Chain A
């Protein structure tokens, strides 16, 4: 395992006692400093979710709350007026969930099958097909906006969550195909040959041999797609409007609601609602994410 070899040599534990202390202090001091630096925005936002508006106005944005109150969380979730309705961010949160979960599952599923076919069932010009699919990785989203608006209009999916699911599935297949194909290339071809001689076909080999080898890359695809689609802003803003918008587009309304006064505390809580699911996914899957991206070979 990789971890074991890293432990085998600890450069901080060599040299004289003083050198060791000095080295460790320097390294951990720097780590702590940067950790605090990176975490401070999150900390400030979380603090503001608990502070009454007058206190924020009086003391400024960066301050420790004198009085903790959870009512702004509640307000942000279900009471705040946003984009014409007063149900907080919860309907938009649901919208995003309804968009992200199917699009993640579909794009991952297509990507795994594509990757399997392109790596293990080689055909003439397969590298061209692969090249064209992965071209999507390099296409800026702005370039595809108009074509998508046209397609969704034709399909009757304009301004619907279903339309966004379609867009994100198709856009995501480029990434998941790239990931899966490169992962499966490392699976020995002899396995497929052996299975074909054993009498298994395309789908049986996929189900019984390829899929059981796939969890690392499946986790990579799911995390990548889930966070990417959840945080996506441009398609949501352009292709949907009103109550059909995903949360990322909806909370833009904060900045232009025109009511005059900014509700910093409610806004802070709403932003955290919008950011929680990707954070949660990354916390539980991050370990596998790094492992899946770096471990190409199946031994």
Chain B
């Protein structure tokens, strides 16, 4: 059963269309991440699901019931806000009971629920404090607690971790994942952080300029991005894009990077169907799919790889890996490699590209070929 369905949804403010024909479906228990740069419409979409914004056209269904005109309180949802939105004059306990009070739940059940949720989130010592007396991480927990006292059809998260410092964010991220595994409720999670989306979601909806670009599992989004935008947005450092051409060479197709020495990078045979000799393409390679030529990493995994000469401009060691800013055939690129044996700035070195993992896009439309 699908617990959330969005059909042909459009939203305009005056003449500005912020959501353009969104179609989305979440199975029961799924964790859907809405991800995209700011202004892409992801928060508006969440507000529409919550009932805080109206729909211009299209339908929103929760458990197969159209809720377009239902008030937020009648949708049986719980939401965690980016600002946490804790009621400042109430204690943590009152913050959590407020919703139950509104729904006329008796005191005994309220206390039971508070106890269960406080145990789950380990916020029992905080129950009698006011939000102003809590740290950022504690407030975040309380905000989740306020959502969890309810057993809703949908959990909605609006960038809940973006106000936390980096370390706490990673901690809370895994807690949210654990929580979702325990509670098992359908969750819609808005974030601009593609790593959060990748780590948490069962399916990711990538949005850009009000259009849903791709809706798929994290693995599929990462490995087979639907267009140049998705390819560039997901993954850090960004995917490299080279202007290139397809060439036919003894019934084998290959890619030649523009401006280089003309070396042909042979394509795996399962990628031939839609390509033609002489076609211009955007050639996408993720930074981690380069490896030093002497490692012969791709061959050891049974793949095809090609050697390209690389000039290193700059390096950024992160400890676990080293990021290299390089030039390949006169075009800028980024390579991730192991810190041991990483070349120094100014050096030339041969790298090989794992041709199984590359992406090709139409240079005009940006669509995956």
Contacts and interface: CB of A to CB of B under 8 A. Distances in A.
Interface of A: 188, 190-191, 193-200, 204, 208-209, 212-213, 298-299
B98 A200 contact: yes
B330 interface: no
Given A195-B98, A197-B51, 8 more contacts: A191-B85, A196-B72, A197-B50, A197-B72, A197-B99, A198-B98, A199-B103, A212-B90
A136 to B, nearest CB: 31
23 contacts: A190-B82, A190-B85, A191-B88, A193-B50, A193-B81, A194-B146, A196-B52, A196-B71, A196-B73, A197-B51, A197-B72, A197-B73, A197-B77, A197-B79, A198-B99, A198-B102, A198-B146, A199-B99, A200-B98, A200-B102, A204-B102, A209-B89, A213-B89
A194 B71 CA distance: 13
Contacts of A188: 83, 85
Interface of B: 50-52, 71-73, 77-79, 81-85, 87-90, 98-99, 102-103, 132, 146
A213 B85 contact: no
Nearest to A298: B88
* Main secondary structure on A side of the interface with B: helix
A212 B73 contact: no
B73 A198 contact: yes
A243 B83 CA distance: 58
The 7 closest A-B pairs by CB, nearest first: A198-B99, A199-B102, A190-B85, A212-B89, A199-B73, A194-B85, A190-B81
Most chain A CB neighbours (cut-off 10 Å) among B51, B83, B102:
B102
* Main secondary structure on B side of the interface with A: loop
Nearest to A187: B88
Given A209-B87, A209-B89, A212-B89, A194 B81 contact: yes
A248 to B, nearest CB: 39
A200 B73 CA distance: 8
B52 A193 contact: yes
Contacts of B98: 195, 198, 200, 208
A232 to B, nearest CB: 34
Contacts of A212: 89-90
A276 B89 CA distance: 35
Nearest to B89: A212
Contacts of A200: 73, 98, 102
A198 B87 CA distance: 12
Contacts of B85: 188, 190-191, 193-194
Contacts of A209: 87, 89
Nearest to B104: A199
Contact of B88 (A193, A199, A213): A213
A191 B73 contact: no
A204 B146 CA distance: 18
A194 B72 CA distance: 10
Contacts of A196: 52, 71-73
Nearest to B73: A199
